[in-house]
Amino acid sequence: MFLIYCPHCGEHREEEEFHNHGQAHIARPLDPDSCTDEEWGNYMFFRKNPKGLHHELWVHAAGCRKFFNVTRNTATYEIKEVYKIGEQPKVVE
Amino acid sequence: MSDVKNETATVSVMNQLPDASIVGQSPLFHADLATIAKKGPNTGGVSFKEEALLGHITLRMNADNAEQMSVVEKVLGVALPTQPLTSVSQGDVVVRWISPDEWLITVPGLQAFDIETAFQQNMIGHYQVVNVSGGQTLVTLSGKHAKDVIKKSSPIDLHPSEFPVGKVVTSVFAKSSAVIRRSGEETFELVIRRSFSDYLWLWIQDASREYGLVVEA
């Protein structure tokens, strides 16, 4: 059992209901036309793959179908916090 | 904003159930539940019933918009549940919370078109009303062992302290999905997809075999 707290439903649910959508807080370049290939490539394809604290995007796919952010330790699976889209993480170190 | 107004005026609403004289076929029509009910045992631990051909309406709007909320109350005669995972019922109308901006309204089948039309005429601002009756069906599981059948099929905690009467969850159910609502101490309503209804009917028969399945029609 790996339970994840959904901030929209307000309760813990089984991991089976969720999907991970990778790294959170990826800002789209404001002016894509003036990006260099490297800048655009980094935005499009390159993601962090840390061992330890990671800010991730999750979706409650089988539940309310809303996205939210999770701060998770990738080595221990411990979830430090869950916060809604548009909010900033409190746990950063 | 004039564009928005025009769009609202030209929304086409289709009456999916023209009138009572046309025989509708529910997703479990082929299973012929009426015959099974006549034949089958009358007592058992789990009762199964399809509430066939109900009107299912998906409503999406902003719960913080007081004007929209008052329109809903006018149309349905009952206020939308804004607390997550709750439902309200008023007579035959049941409104289920699905997501912070989405609700599932079930009404007797022939009322669906009237309610949809009433929404299109009265609702203001940014919203969506879709009649999804054809895509899903509602089945009830009741009896002493109804919760045991759901426990086999879903990871949801069904203890009364966690899952009181009136609570609604959308979750995985036997590798498919269902909107599960507790409508009584021992009664659960499952809203399931039309395309999965046969599979889930077979699943429920298998999962309830040890308790004894009573089919009601």
Q: Is the pLDDT of residue B142 over 60?
A: yes
* Six-digit token string for B79: 């206020």
CB-CB neighbours of B172 under 10 Å:
19
**Domain boundaries along the sequence of chain A:** 3-28+35-84
Asked whether residue B84 is assigned to any structural domain, the reply reads: yes
What does B16-41 look like in DSSP terms, one character per residue? SS--TTSPP--TTGGG-HHHHHHHS-
- Summarize pLDDT for B25-54 with one digit per residue, the tens: 899 999 999 999 999 899 999 999 999 999
Cα A20 from Cα A23, distance rounded (Å): 9
Kindly identify which residue of chain A lies nearest to residue B172, measuring between CA atoms.
A62
Q: Is the pLDDT of residue B80 over 80?
A: yes
Choose among A14, A17, A64: nearest Cβ to B99. A64
Residue with the larger pLDDT of the pair B217 and B210: B210
Identify the band that residue B16 occupies on the pLDDT scale cut at 50, 70 and 90. Answer: confident
Q: Is the pLDDT of residue B1 over 50?
A: no
Residues linked to residue B138 through DSSP beta bridges, in sequence order: B51, B191
The length of chain B, given as a count of residues: 217
The whole domain housing B102 covers 35-216
Cα A39 from Cα B207, distance rounded (Å): 55
Contact B17, B109 (CB under 8 A): yes
pLDDT of residue A1: 76
Best probe of the A interface among B104, B154, B172, B191, by most A CBs < 10 A, is B172
pLDDT of residue B18: 63
Distance of CA B98 to the CA centre of its chain: 11
What backbone phi and psi angles, to 5 degrees, belong to B203? -60, -45
Identify the band that residue B19 occupies on the pLDDT scale cut at 50, 70 and 90. Answer: low
- Summarize pLDDT for B86-105 with one digit per residue, the tens: 999 999 999 999 999 999 99
Element (H, E) at B121: helix B112-122
Asked whether residue B195 is assigned to any structural domain, the reply reads: yes
Q: Is the pLDDT of residue B2 over 50?
A: no
Domain tally, chain B: 1
Cα B215 from Cα B212, distance rounded (Å): 10
Which positions in chain B touch A65 (Cβ < 8 Å)? Answer: 99
Q: Is the pLDDT of residue B208 over 70?
A: yes
Asked whether residue B6 is assigned to any structural domain, the reply reads: no
Asked whether residue B18 is assigned to any structural domain, the reply reads: no
Mean pLDDT score across all residues of chain B: 92
Is A67 near chain B, with CB under 8 Å? no
Cα B151 from Cα B120, distance rounded (Å): 40
Q: Is the pLDDT of residue B5 over 60?
A: no
What does A12-35 look like in DSSP terms, one character per residue? EEEGGG-EEEEES--PPPS-GGG-
Q: Do A8 and B99 touch (CB under 8 A)?
A: yes
Cα B140 from Cα B180, distance rounded (Å): 9
Domain of residue B107, CATH code: 3.30.1360.120
Distance of CA B28 to the CA centre of its chain: 15
Would you give the end-to-end CA distance of chain B in angstroms?
50
Q: Which amino acid is at B119?
A: F
Asked whether residue B125 is assigned to any structural domain, the reply reads: yes
Identify the band that residue B3 occupies on the pLDDT scale cut at 50, 70 and 90. Answer: very low
* Six-digit token string for A7: 């901030």
Mean pLDDT score across all residues of chain A: 96
Which CATH number does A3-28+35-84 carry?
A: 3.30.2270.10
Q: Do A64 and B172 touch (CB under 8 A)?
A: no
Residues of chain A with pLDDT under 70: none
Distance of CA A1 to the CA centre of its chain: 20
Which positions in chain B touch A61 (Cβ < 8 Å)? Answer: none
Q: Which 3 state secondary structure label does DSSP give B97?
A: strand
- Summarize pLDDT for B108-117 with one digit per residue, the tens: 988 998 999 9
Asked whether residue B28 is assigned to any structural domain, the reply reads: no
